[in-house]
Amino acid sequence: MTHLLEMRDLTLDFETEDGVAKVLDRVSFDIAEGEVFGLVGETGCGKTVTALAILRLLPRTALIRGGAIRFAGENLLAKSDGEMARLRGSRMTMVFQDPATSLNPTFPIGDQVARVLTVHEGLDRDEALARAAELFGRVGLPDAGGLLRRYPHELSGGMQQRVMIAMALACRPKLLIADEPTTAVDVTLQAQILDLLLTLKAEFGLSVLLITHNFGIVAETCDRVGSCMRAPWRRSGGRRTSSGSPSIPTHKASCGPSPGRAPADVPYSRSPGWSRASSSRPRDAASIPDASSR
């Protein structure tokens, strides 16, 4: 199996007015080419920070204390800001949780997608807008040509998220990071967005890092999964087993196990609806608990 992304023992702190806050502690996982890898955990456990570390989009207060991140064999932590800027948007991209805050409200959405193509592929404005309209059609947006002149506030949440997906795929990247891509849309659109991501993953040959706190989404979409929780849970593996070898020893060192949680030595697979002994899908994916409610 060829690994597109490898993270080994990433340790990251934040400097605060009250001192140093330990956020990530020896995070390790890998993502194979063409794989959907799920990173699950409760709110505030470090999932998004892990993704931002891959893209080197961390705030100035972040301090990487150790570890390595390799993408297609290249050490991302050793690259300059200019080299990372050329990688972001072309070979690796990210769809953020809330498209309403990710899109610029002062520019038409067509110009925002076209900007990615002019910067990374050198297209002129007319060529870039034509490609943007094509991408809008690929992600299922109606009246793709007319949408080029629309502003973000004129679109629904589901349409905004499809625009973000179109922007992310504009340069045919190898890695797509999807950070809770269904959070900002209603339940009826969640399945459509996930189906779209899987369809485009196959069409574009993507590897996907899917960040979520919903085990039902993991059961339906992911090939393997890793846990990222405040309590020091250290298991990753198949979406229905925990026999995989990579571990994700990720936790907030300032937070101990929450009251009522299972002790740290209880395997990740002990969650209701998951079985180490069985490789079949849970009878009811809806019965898999949301990590934030446990």
Is residue 179 pLDDT above 80, yes or no?
yes
Q: What is the pLDDT of residues 50-79, one digit of tens each?
A: 999 999 999 999 999 999 999 999 999 999
* Amino acid making up residue 277: A
From 141, 170, 199, the end of a domain falls on 170
* Together in a domain, 229 and 166: no
Is residue 291 pLDDT above 70, yes or no?
no
Closest CA to 27 of 217, 212, 252, 179: 252
Q: What is the pLDDT of residues 99-122, one digit of tens each?
A: 889 999 999 999 999 999 999 999
Alpha helices in 2-152 (DSSP H): 47-55, 81-87, 99-102, 109-121, 125-138, 144-147
Amino acid 127: pLDDT: 95
Going by pLDDT thresholds of 50, 70 and 90, the confidence category of residue 230 is: low
Higher-confidence residue: 3 or 190?
A: 3
* Together in a domain, 166 and 180: no
Q: What is the pLDDT of residues 128-167, one digit of tens each?
A: 999 999 999 989 999 998 999 999 999 998 899 999 999 9
* Together in a domain, 157 and 179: no
Query: Residue 275 and residue 269: Cα distance in Å, rounded?
Result: 6
Amino acid 217: pLDDT: 87
Amino acid 237: pLDDT: 53
* Together in a domain, 192 and 286: yes
* Together in a domain, 55 and 86: yes
Query: Residue 153 and residue 106: Cα distance in Å, rounded?
Result: 10
Q: Mean pLDDT over residues 7-35, rounded?
A: 92
Q: Is 159 helix (H, G, I), strand (E, B) or coil?
A: helix
* Together in a domain, 87 and 206: yes
* Together in a domain, 197 and 288: yes
Amino acid 85: pLDDT: 93
Is residue 245 pLDDT above 50, yes or no?
no
Closest CA to 110 of 90, 87, 75, 136: 136
Q: What is the pLDDT of residues 264-281, one digit of tens each?
A: 333 333 223 322 222 333
Query: Residue 211 and residue 54: Cα distance in Å, rounded?
Result: 13
- Residue 268 sits in a domain whose CATH number is 3.40.50.300
* Together in a domain, 231 and 200: yes
* Together in a domain, 59 and 191: yes
Query: Residue 92 and residue 207: Cα distance in Å, rounded?
Result: 10
This prediction's pTM: 0.76
Could you give the number of structural domains in the chain? 2
* Together in a domain, 117 and 156: yes
Going by pLDDT thresholds of 50, 70 and 90, the confidence category of residue 186 is: confident
Run of H or E residues at 189:
helix 187-204
* Together in a domain, 179 and 163: no
| Residue 144 belongs to domain spanning | 100-170
120-134 in b/e form (b: 16+ CB < 10 A) is beebeeeebbbbbbe
